[in-house]
Amino acid sequence: MAQAKTLTQAELDQVLRYASTKQYPERNRALILTSFYLGLRVAEIALLKRGDLVNEDGTIKNEIRLHASQTKGGHPRTVYIPEKLKPELERYLSTRHIKLPDVPFFHTDNRLGFTPNSLCVWFFGLYRGAGISGASSHSGRRTLITSLANKGVGVRVLAEIAGHRSIAVTQKYIDANPEMMRNAMNLI
């Protein structure tokens, strides 16, 4: 099976524009950017609860503590929320009326939480509708890891961010692209 496509900034912008024309534009944008800015697996996103991201005073937390039951390998980990994602999450949160910490953070059309499979299907339809071929629910994750590698973040740190136990797995996520090769050659 081919790896998920890493998106350029122009392609991500195209997806965000398309998502803004659909029902629940704030949710759509927050979901997409959660994938691209946190690098979570689709199942991890689907299993997020309001209390995982929101403090008691209604502000967005600085970090998410994923429990073993929320991760692929059954190993808990901490995910740090970048400042540029917080306003997106706050904007989406302003559309939600339920304040209980155990409700799913991202709602579906019927106001329930996504299952990992239904969120995977949602991403597939989103990319197809936006005209991006080869992208999947894993594209945000691969794009984040590749982008951080392009900026010089070491593979050990990338493995921690991704929740990988082996840096060999993380290395498979890094897409060698012309920008990366050009930057490498300019180090000479």
Q: Which helix (H) or strand (E) holds 64?
A: strand 63-66
Instruction: Name the least confident of 36-45, 103-112, 168-177.
Output: 168-177
Position 171 scores a pLDDT of: 79
Whether the per-residue pLDDT at 1 is higher than 60: the answer is no
Could you tell me the pLDDT band of residue 63, with boundaries at 50, 70 and 90? very high
AA identity, residue 89: L
When pLDDT is averaged across residues 35-59 and rounded to a whole number, the result is 95
Least confident segment among 46-50, 83-87, 97-101: 97-101
Position 68 pLDDT exceeds 90: no
pLDDT at 154 over 80: yes
Instruction: Report the predicted TM-score, pTM, of the whole model to 2 decimal places.
Output: 0.88
Determine the pLDDT at residue 123: 97
- Calculate what percentage of the chain has a pLDDT beyond 70: 99
**pLDDT value at 115 more than 90:** yes
Average of per-residue pLDDT across 137-162: 87
Q: Give the pLDDT band of residue 80 (cuts 50, 70, 90).
A: very high
Residue 3: pLDDT band (50, 70, 90) is confident
Residue 15: predicted pLDDT? 98
CATH number of 9-135: 1.10.443.10
How far are the Cα atoms of 36, 41, 135, 146, 162 from residue 177, in angstroms, in the given order?
18, 23, 16, 9, 20
C-alpha distances out from residue 169 to 31, 61, 73, 75, 79, Å: 25, 29, 13, 16, 18
- Burial class of 116 by CB neighbour count within 10 A (0 to 12, 13 to 18, 19+): middle
**Triad 138, 152, 139: Cα angle to 5°:** 10
pLDDT at 17: 98
Q: Which two tokens stand for residue 87?
A: 């306003």
Domain boundaries, the chain: 9-135, 140-185
